[in-house]
Amino acid sequence: MALIADDAAHRVEQLLLMTERLAALAAKDTRRIEAREPLIEAETDEKNRLANAYRLELARIKQDHALIQAAPPALLDRLRQTTVALHKTLDAHELALNAVKVVSEGLVHAMAEEVVRQRGSGANYSAKGALATQGGPSPTVLDRNA
């Protein structure tokens, strides 16, 4: 979705609004993650749509700098400052997401190790001298150890 703007100043103003909203949504997500609260699906969807539109608009501007060149210098400076703030917010958001990822992966590994521990080696020999295998799936009960 490309921005529809009357002139360069209008385009920069719209880009400013997008940048500020993206930063606000990312900061809100980061606060929720750090507080161990669930993310709100509607906000996540909005953030994803907005990030995609933002990416597309930046690609358009990269191809054609004339889209924003005629904007007032003060407006362009404000856009630069807002973009720097967005990047700082996104860095904090990435750290929070990586922490969630590490914890989630740790839980999966702990559960897998507990399953292996509960099932034991299973390498017993049968009366015929072959390795005995279980005939079907064996249930696994995870307790507080996992």
pLDDT digits (tens, 9 = 90+) for 37-58: 998 899 989 999 999 999 999 9
pLDDT digits (tens, 9 = 90+) for 72-118: 999 999 999 999 999 999 999 999 999 999 998 998 888 888 877 77
* pLDDT higher than 80, residue 6: no
Contact 33, 51 (CB under 8 A): no
* pLDDT higher than 60, residue 145: no
- CA dist., res. 138 & res. 51, Å (int): 46
C-alpha distance from residue 146 to each of 3, 66, 100, 137, 138 (Å):
51, 59, 18, 20, 17
Spatial CB neighbours of 66, under 8 Å, sequence gap ≥ 6: 8
pLDDT score of 72: 94
Judge: domain 8-118, CATH 1.20.58: yes
